Amino acid sequence: MIKTDVVIIGSEGAGARAALEVKKLNLEPLIVTKGMIGRCGSTVTAGADIDVDSKSIKELLGLEGDSRDSKEAFFEDIIVEGRYINNQKLVEAHVDEAPDRIKEMMDWGMKVTNVLHGPGHRYPRGVYTTGQEIMRVLASEVRKAGIRVYEHFMVTDLVKKDGRVAGIVGLDLSTGKFVPISAKAVIIATGGGMMMYPVQTAPEDITGDGHAMAWRAGAELVDMEMVQFLACTFINPPAWRGLTFPFTIGPGVGGMEIWLMNKFGARFMKKWDPERMEHSTRDKLAIGIMNEVVDGLGSPAGGVYYSLKHLPDEIVDRYPLERKDPYLKEDWSFKGFQFKELIESMKKGKSIEVGPASHFFMGGIRINERCETSIPGLFGAGEVCGGTHGGNRLSGNACTQILVQGARAGIFASEYAKGNANGELPKEELKRLEDRVMAPVERDGTSPFELKRALQKIAWEKVGVVRTAESLTKALGEIEAIKKELPQIGCSAKNRVYNREWLEALQVESLITLLEMTAKSAALREESRGAHYRRDFTSMDNENWLRNIITENKGGQMTNSFAPVVITSLIPPKEGSIHG
């Protein structure tokens, strides 16, 4: 059995940053990751603007910020755009510590290009770099610190002893062996669960494993109905489906002045945000697009039309130069794709079909400002944790969250670990967990790939951008049917080394748990708030629904309850509307 002081599940932004703090505090961290550090997870794919108040951008970072901004204004914008259900203690830590965390990254060598002004922000706050650059710096610091990284290791479960989390177990993908790891504290930093949907902006390893293992262990989760969809991703051609390039040239301050239209050429966003139109926030854009589709006003492929025909050619031609985006080159190449031919056809009048893609989970494991979960010994950081963003995440806050919470989780997990000792993990529990992990490869049965396609279809059609009581009720019934197939899931390939089918079987179980949590919470919240849109309850109802929805595992059953929103200073209004 491997023993360490603090084990960190996830090697990317939040996980790597947490490990550095643990090492700094003279404890031994161990990072475990499904892939390879710097080459897996969501951080490396980020845009990436890192939000910090514009005054600090100017005065501390020495960049082109706006001194009229403040931490207090930044805090208010996050709460308002989160539709007031954010944990305000988490947001206070977020805005207070962001300047130092970003300064630290720059001191370590992170290169930045400019400062962006994203939608929903009163001031330019996005310190712009790339996800690759963030991970280049963090991975380099991890190597310099001599931190152990166990790559190609899928954590399947948390192990509890005497009421606290005392370690983890998982599958070494390179050997096919079941491995237990004892730890004095555990940090989950596994990201979101975007693969629950058939169209997503995240890599294929983002499968909600952290959410599922936390639920199985008895941790509380919060506001799991809050899933963010990136509005303008390619629907056609199929090879580009889910690609985020159109968002870069579209909505957002500094984006090209494109038009979104339904099949009759109507610019439908005037119904949802008449002032900002296509420059609205992502939640409203996604909701606006999918309502057109549901009403039969969308494009043939199930999206809407995206056009720049109204713009002069010289404005379009100069855009890559003016945008100053490190990903976007003057020849219109972007992230390995070449778009020159497409842009030339769009200048002549061709539109493209775009639609929403699963992009970010605002809901997640419930933590406090010390990054503690409801189970002693278990800490969380980054997207896997709920509460910071409330009902809608502002652009750029994901990268800030991983740096701030990563450091905080490392600090407080280390503090906890110093008061505990490693122990032997319960043998009976280890045997039960090993049997669960090994079962799929040892039997023939239902294909995990087929099961995944089935649950993604349910997620998109019934628990997607537009939801109703009817769709959610049907979804929950179909989820129950899929759950009954889990004991029959098997692998046609029996090899134990890098068996993709085996990995998929384990990930599908995570996705089913995640989908059930999302659907149950969405069915319970009878209002529209942020990214959660109920077509049968279109208004935001602060009188009845200004509260968080908590999901727990009680005796193997998924239950929901309510908790008051954590408010420190900004009092929500009594009434609100989805259009407001």
- Total domain count for the chain? 2
> For residue 334, which phi and psi values (nearest 5 degrees)?
-150, 115
Higher pLDDT, 158 or 576: 158
pLDDT digits (tens, 9 = 90+) for 398-443: 999 999 999 999 999 999 999 998 888 999 999 999 999 999 999 9
The single-letter DSSP state of residue 255 is S
Do 344 and 439 lie in a common domain? no
Closest CA to 292 of 229, 462, 300: 300
Q: What percent of the chain has pLDDT over 70?
A: 97
Residue 99 lies in a domain: no
pLDDT at 464: 96
Residue 333 lies in a domain: yes
CATH number at residue 506: 1.20.58.100
Residue 562 lies in a domain: no
Helix axes 448-462, 469-483, angle to 10 degrees: 170
Other C-beta atoms closer than 10 Å to the C-beta of 498 total: 12
Looking at 301, 336, 358, the residue that finishes a domain is 358
Do 241 and 348 lie in a common domain? yes
What pLDDT band is residue 494 in, cutting at 50, 70 and 90?
very high
Looking at 342, 358, 374, the residue that finishes a domain is 358
Do 338 and 451 lie in a common domain? no
CATH number at residue 245: 3.90.700.10
What pLDDT band is residue 577 in, cutting at 50, 70 and 90?
very low
pLDDT digits (tens, 9 = 90+) for 231-287: 888 888 777 787 776 555 554 445 788 899 999 999 999 999 999 898 888 888 999
CB distance 42 to 35 below 8 Å: no
Do 354 and 456 lie in a common domain? no
pLDDT at 254: 57
How far is it, in rounded angstroms, from Cα 492 to Cα 447?
A: 8
Average pLDDT over the chain reads 93
Do 342 and 443 lie in a common domain? no
Q: What is the mean pLDDT of residues 97-105?
A: 98
Residue 226 lies in a domain: no
- Which contiguous run of DSSP H or E holds residue 467? strand 466-467
How far is it, in rounded angstroms, from Cα 364 to Cα 385?
A: 4
Do 342 and 451 lie in a common domain? no
The CA distances from residue 90 to 103, 391, 569, in Å, are 20, 14, 12
Do 446 and 544 lie in a common domain? yes
Residue type, 185: A
pLDDT at 251: 46
Residue 326 lies in a domain: yes
3-class secondary structure, 310: coil
The structure tokens 């997870």 sit at 41
Q: What percent of the chain has pLDDT over 90?
A: 83
Do 452 and 335 lie in a common domain? no
Residue 175 lies in a domain: no
Whether the per-residue pLDDT at 47 is higher than 50: the answer is yes
pLDDT digits (tens, 9 = 90+) for 526-541: 999 999 999 999 999 9
Q: What is the mean pLDDT of residues 494-511?
A: 96
The CA distances from residue 544 to 147, 222, 279, 346, 357, in Å, are 48, 17, 30, 47, 30
The CA distances from residue 16 to 66, 120, 488, in Å, are 31, 29, 37
User: What is the domain range of residue 324?
Assistant: 231-358
Q: What is the mean pLDDT of residues 494-514?
A: 96
What pLDDT band is residue 178 in, cutting at 50, 70 and 90?
very high
Token pair for residue 347?
């200048």
Do 543 and 440 lie in a common domain? yes
pLDDT at 248: 57
3-class secondary structure, 59: helix
CB distance 31 to 11 below 8 Å: yes
CB distance 308 to 259 below 8 Å: yes
Whether the per-residue pLDDT at 213 is higher than 90: the answer is yes
Residue 263 lies in a domain: yes
Do 319 and 432 lie in a common domain? no
Other C-beta atoms closer than 10 Å to the C-beta of 110 total: 19
Q: What is the mean pLDDT of residues 378-396?
A: 97
How far is it, in rounded angstroms, from Cα 446 to Cα 440?
A: 9
Looking at 335, 358, 381, the residue that finishes a domain is 358
Other C-beta atoms closer than 10 Å to the C-beta of 578 total: 20
pLDDT at 575: 63
pLDDT digits (tens, 9 = 90+) for 320-367: 888 777 778 889 988 778 889 989 999 999 999 999 999 999 999 999
CB distance 387 to 222 below 8 Å: yes
Cite the beta strand spans of 285-383 per DSSP E.
Answer: 304-307, 333-334, 337-338, 352-361, 364-366, 378-380
Radius of gyration of the chain (CA): 23
Cite the beta strand spans of 145-240 per DSSP E.
Answer: 148-150, 153-161, 164-172, 177-188, 221-222, 227-234
The CA distances from residue 369 to 90, 182, 265, 380, 387, in Å, are 5, 25, 48, 10, 10
Do 236 and 354 lie in a common domain? yes
pLDDT at 48: 83
Residue 380 lies in a domain: no
* Dihedral sign of CA atoms 69, 71, 74, 80 in order: negative
Whether the per-residue pLDDT at 580 is higher than 70: the answer is no
Please, what's the b/e burial string for 528-543 (b: 16 or more CB within 10 A of its CB; e: otherwise)? bbbbbbbbebebbbbe
Whether the per-residue pLDDT at 579 is higher than 60: the answer is no
Predicted model pTM: 0.94
Q: What is the mean pLDDT of residues 516-523?
A: 98
Do 440 and 541 lie in a common domain? yes
How far is it, in rounded angstroms, from Cα 310 to Cα 313?
A: 9
Lowest mean pLDDT across 41-50, 368-377, 404-413:
41-50
